């Protein structure tokens, strides 16, 4: 499934009690499969040529996003990420986990989330034989991934992971929902109502999303 952008405020005004496509498709899929919503955790992956990021939290306030950085959610994100790459033919994808705080917390000087939450989740993931490292300083980990050191970066919240991907160019960005029982991609941008009817809107990101969905559909399972 390839979806076009939606206006989240318009969805809310129309009475749809989901903040976006990701959560709506999660609810529909859980109902279709016959499981509770919390038994079908999903994550958002944004990718552009040379960089892929997966988010621990999605469409929530920054305050709520910080509260969502728990050992369980970080580990779950790593596992969902690894499962996606395994299905895509990369059973040992190199997963880098970004820190939450500047300089990865500087040994607790700038916060203890790395020590108390993120590092223990990484240890648990390694115990599951997943190829994961970190927590890495967030101001350099995306550059390192871009240079080929990692295949994907797990980011702690929405803007931490999306800013570097979108900086590389909206025209090539693809949003992929991980954890669904189907392949779902979309462009990495919004509706751009200001461009409607002007002839200036670009379909490049939508075409990239279609191409990504086709490649994932054809990929051999590991």
DSSP at 221: P
The answer to whether position 98 is within a domain reads yes
Give the CATH number of the domain where residue 135 resides.
3.40.718.10
The answer to whether position 60 is within a domain reads yes
Residue 19's pLDDT is 76
Encode pLDDT of 3-50 as tens digits.
988 887 888 888 888 877 888 899 999 999 999 998 999 999 999 989
The answer to whether position 38 is within a domain reads no
Residue 181 predicted with pLDDT over 90: yes
Residues 6+ apart with CB under 8 A from 142: 51, 53, 98, 153, 164
Comparing 148 with 198, the larger pLDDT belongs to 148
The answer to whether position 115 is within a domain reads yes
The answer to whether position 24 is within a domain reads no
Burial of 182 (0-12, 13-18, 19+ CB in 10 A): exposed
The answer to whether position 76 is within a domain reads yes
Residues 6+ apart with CB under 8 A from 127: none
CA-to-CA distance for 130 and 87, rounded, in angstroms?
14
Tokens representing residue 164 in the block: 């570097």
Q: Is 55 helix (H, G, I), strand (E, B) or coil?
A: strand
Query: What is the residue range of 170's domain?
Result: 43-187+199-218
The answer to whether position 100 is within a domain reads yes
Encode pLDDT of 144-161 as tens digits.
999 999 999 999 999 999
Q: Please state the domain count of the chain.
A: 1
Interval 120-146 mean pLDDT: 97
The answer to whether position 153 is within a domain reads yes
């Amino acid at each position: 499934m390839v979806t076009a952008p939606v206006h989240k405020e318009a969805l809310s005004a129309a009475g749809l009690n989901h903040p976006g496509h990701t959560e709506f498709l999660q609810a529909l899929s859980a109902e279709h499969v016959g499981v509770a919503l919390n038994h079908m955790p999903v994550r958002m992956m944004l990718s552009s040529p040379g960089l892929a990021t997966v988010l621990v939290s999605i469409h929530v306030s920054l305050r709520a996003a910080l509260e969502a950085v728990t050992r369980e959610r970080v580990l779950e994100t790593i596992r969902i990420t690894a499962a996606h790459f395994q299905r895509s033919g990369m059973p040992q994808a190199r997963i880098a986990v970004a820190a939450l705080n500047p300089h990865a917390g500087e040994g607790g000087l700038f916060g203890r989330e790395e020590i108390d939450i993120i590092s223990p989740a990484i240890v648990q993931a390694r115990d599951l034989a997943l190829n994961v490292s970190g927590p890495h300083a967030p101001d350099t980990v995306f550059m390192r991934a871009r240079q080929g050191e990692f295949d994907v970066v797990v980011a702690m919240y929405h803007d931490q992971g999306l800013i570097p991907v979108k900086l590389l160019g909206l025209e090539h960005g693809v949003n992929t929902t991980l954890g669904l029982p189907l392949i779902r991609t979309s462009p990495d941008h919004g509706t751009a109502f200001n461009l409607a009817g002007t002839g200036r809107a670009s379909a490049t990101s939508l075409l990239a999303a279609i191409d990504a969905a086709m490649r994932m559909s054809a990929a051999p399972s590991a």
